[in-house]
Amino acid sequence: MNLIKKTLFVVFLVQLLIFSYIKIFHEKGKETLISEAIANTTPLKTKNPTINKEYVTSIVNSTISNLVEKHRIEEQKIQKQKIAKQKVILPKKSKIKTKCYAKNSPKKTLLKKTYSSNSKIEKYAKKFLGNKYVWGATGPKTFDCSGFTQKVYRQSAGIRLPRVSREQAKVGKYIKYANLKQGDMVFFDTTKEKLGKVNHVGIYLKNGNFIHASSGGKKVMITNFNKKRFYKKRFLWGRRVLKESNNVATISNNKHREES
């Protein structure tokens, strides 16, 4: 019995040493731990044939395997805890409301009315219909013929014309009667002598109509070339300035005023 007690004590001692060894050097593999533990275990010398080296070795092996399994379980728990801490909590995906349109669905578009420079000139000029004619006046309520054209082109198209009609007749592209278009200036010689010198100006509209500040009508009015043959006979030429608005030179006011 004393021998068995001593053997069990030795086994307990060996287990304690093995456990300490595993704790200190847990990085080593299981096979290394087991082989080193068996190698370090000294065989017992005993006279009892029932207690021999193989018996002690089997006890030590079973003890070591239990310890190693416990150690493995603990390591797994530690690894799981580390993985759980490393998990990043992602924010919930925000639901963004988006409008989906079918490929063939009609697109809603706002169509804005656009006006050409020619149309703008006509539209602006007609605002002054009926305003009184006053020689030398440039607005805002009364005009002479060149004061009227100067006001209309500057405000509606940004074109700065000279003050008097004979100077305005030199600006822009020369246009014949047959080639007149909306927005062109039209020039006349209304003198009895028909000297061929410009003394009146208006703005061509469409369909043979032109708008001008008339001294005879004493107001801003629209006249038709075909109905008022006098103006067709006294027509000299037209001038187109819309395409050359950036190149139109501003000429200082002339002291001599025209008679319309």
pLDDT at 257: 38
Residues identified as active-site: 145, 200, 212
Domain annotation for the chain: domains and CATH numbers: 2-86 (no CATH), 117-247 (3.90.1720.10)
CA distance between the termini of the chain: 150
Amino acid at 65: S
pLDDT at 124: 97
Return per-residue pLDDT of the chain as tens, 260 residues.
Answer: 667 777 777 777 777 777 776 666 555 555 555 555 555 554 444 455 455 556 656 766 777 777 778 778 888 888 877 777 766 555 555 555 545 444 444 444 333 333 578 999 999 999 999 999 999 999 999 999 999 999 999 999 999 999 999 999 999 999 999 999 999 999 999 998 889 999 999 999 999 999 999 999 999 999 999 999 999 999 999 999 987 444 443 333 333 333 33
Helix pair 30-40, 2-24: axis angle to 10 deg: 140
Q: Among 190, 183, 142, which Cα is nearest to 165's?
A: 190
Both structure tokens of 162: 């000279």
pTM, 2 dp:
0.52
